[in-house]
Each structure stands twice: as structure tokens, then as C-alpha cells.
Structure 1
Amino acid sequence: MAGQTYVVTVATLYRRPVFLDDEAARAVCRVHTARWPWRDARLLAWVLMPAHWQGLVTLGERDTLSTLIGRFKALTSRAVEDRHRINGWLWGRGFGDRALGADEDVVGVARHLVGHPLRAGLVRSLGDYAYWNAAWLPGDAAPD
């Protein structure tokens, strides 16, 4: 539904920790910097963990959530080297999603999402983890 914000989770095929490889992680991260994959949706925050990606996305008028995430998965799959795919597949089937309620704090949800590397023990400081971003950071548009 247009205007609805979702937390979306996409896991790698067989939950393989593909993104422990910096080259693969950087390839997926480059897709985030292009505007056209998201069309009129807003990517408010995202984090790339070793075996999954999570994003906070507000849908626009032009795509369903399934279409948007399908496009993201296709583009990121093509972005990584063949050695990271199994029979051409990087991501597992489908995705998980949760619609935010009207009373939920979007910035609070985003902060929780990008804090996953800290809670997983991957880094001691979020500044030490390169594979995340949020719309309220300097240089980005603040979330509505």
C-alpha cells in the first residue's frame, strides 16, 4: 500500500554468510546509492549483515512491496561475482516483512535496525561497520 512503511528482511540462499566478503558487501551496497531501483519508494534505513539484508522502506505509488524487493534482489544478485551465487541465486526465496503501525516511531525502528551489527558482536562501535545507512544522517533527507 502506498505510503506504508515496512521493515523488510531478505536472507541469502541457505543463509550463507556471503557478506563477510567485503567485495560482495560493497557490490550490494552500491545498489543502494542509485535512485532508480527504488523509484518513488523511500529507503529510510538499511543494514547488510553477513547472511541477510534488512531495510526500512516506505512504498510509493508505482510498486508493490513484492515488486520493489524483487527488483532489489535481482539487481544485487547481478552485482556480486558468480562465486557468491548458487546456480545463479544469491538470495533465498521470498522475504519477510512487517508493516509499521501509525503510532510507531520510524526513527526509533531505524535505529534499532542499523544497530544489528553491534548486537551481533560484529563491531564494538557502529562507526566501525561500513554496511548500513539511514536517511537522517547528514547529506541525506530526513525521514517524514
Structure 2
Amino acid sequence: ELQKGTLAQCMALLKSRSSRQLNRISGRKGPLWQHGYHDHAVRTDESLHDNAMYILGNPVRAGLAGGLGDYPHAWCRWPL
């Protein structure tokens, strides 16, 4: 639950701060995030599972991994 502000403001702050920090650490310049975002309310366990599978499948769709859970830079290893 947000204590103050809107979700859009929260996301703008997150993207701004993380871009500055990651660009500083990596020595790069320029945009890191794409413009805008799409929020989606997760109301059921099924919706949560569907969204998680979509996120975990991104490296597979991009050709960076052969299967779910194979991406070496994943922040989690969920049992599938």
C-alpha cells in the first residue's frame, strides 16, 4: 500500500533513481527504461501465476535462455 502519492509517481521515482545509480555504476549514459509502464491489478492466485510466468519467460522469448529457469541472471529460481 502506498503511503503517499500515486503508483505513477512511485514508478517515476523508481525509474529515475535506479537509472541514475545503474548508469553511475556501469559508466554509461542515456535512458535505461522504456517510456511509460502498464500497471495490472493482481486479484487472484491464477493471475499472479500468469504474470510470473510471463516475466520468467521473457529471457526465453528474447532468445537469451533455452527454457524457464535457465537464465543465469534471474533473481529467483521458482519451481515450475
The interval holding the TM-score normalised by the smaller chain is 0.5 to 0.7
Where in structure 1 do 4 or more consecutive aligned residues deviate above 4 Å?
none
- Residue identity opposite 2:35 in structure 1: R
Name 1:130's counterpart in structure 2: 73
More strand by share: 1
- Segments of 5+ residues of structure 2 without an aligned counterpart are none
Q: How far has the Cα of 1:104 moved from its partner?
A: 5.7
Secondary structure of the corresponding residue to residue 67 of structure 1: helix
Secondary structure of the corresponding residue to residue 83 of structure 1: coil
Q: TM-score, normalised by structure 1?
A: 0.39
User: Is the Cα–Cα contact under 8 Å of residues 77 and 90 in structure 1 kept in the other structure?
Assistant: yes
* 1:82-116: CA deviation from partner (whole Å, max 9, x where unpaired): 5331xxx433432222333x346112321222111
Q: Distance in 2 between matches of 1:78 and 1:128?
A: 26
- Residue identity opposite 1:90 in structure 2: L
- Residue identity opposite 2:3 in structure 1: R
Aligned residues: 72
User: Is the Cα–Cα contact under 8 Å of residues 60 and 66 in structure 2 kept in the other structure?
Assistant: yes
- Segments of 5+ residues of structure 1 without an aligned counterpart are 1-59, 138-144
Q: Which has the higher contact order (CA 8 A, sep 6+)?
A: 1
Cα RMSD after superposing both structures:
2.6
Name 2:63's counterpart in structure 1: 121
User: Is the Cα–Cα contact under 8 Å of residues 77 and 91 in structure 1 kept in the other structure?
Assistant: yes
- Residue identity opposite 2:29 in structure 1: H
More helix by share: 2
Name 2:53's counterpart in structure 1: 111
